[in-house]
Amino acid sequence: MGVEVNYLAVVLAMLSSMVVGSIWYARPVFGNTWIKLAKINMNKKGPSVWVPIAVTAVVSLLTAYVLAHVAFLSHEFFDNSFVQDSLSTAFWLWLGLTAARFVTHDAFEGRPWKLTLLNCAHELVTILLMGLIIGLFGV
């Protein structure tokens, strides 16, 4: 059995990740809270903002591709609607891989639980939107 991936859906899912992040971490939304909880010094000069944006784009593309790949496999097994299988796959991947890892790392790093919750919620919204896009476009 070959795995079918809709590459347009993958690219759109990656772009949706960038949009969600831009909105989520905007100062009027959760940006000010994130800056405070993560103890970000906004006056400190750092590397160009384009480096983390490029890294985020590449990693989001990888995430979208893996999600599309696993959603196809889930759909082959469960045979519900592709949207339903994509969304449920996105949720379970988020819970078992993303949220669980955030909680583990943040606990060891002593990060505030509010920061962990804020970042995990961002990832949930991101991955569910990716799953929705992938599910709606199908294979």
Provide the angle, in degrees to the nearest 10, between the axes of the packed helices 7-24 and 50-78: 130
Q: How confident is the model at residue 34 (pLDDT cuts 50, 70, 90)?
A: very high
The tokens of 4 are what?
A: 């079918």
What pTM does this model have? 0.95
Question: Mind listing the pLDDT tens digit for each residue in 42-76?
Answer: 888 877 889 999 999 999 999 999 999 999 999 99
- The two tokens of residue 74 are 């889930």
Cα distance between residue 64 and residue 127, in whole Å: 8
**What mean pLDDT comes out for the span 38-42?**
91
Cα 122 to Cα 138: distance, rounded to the nearest angstrom: 24
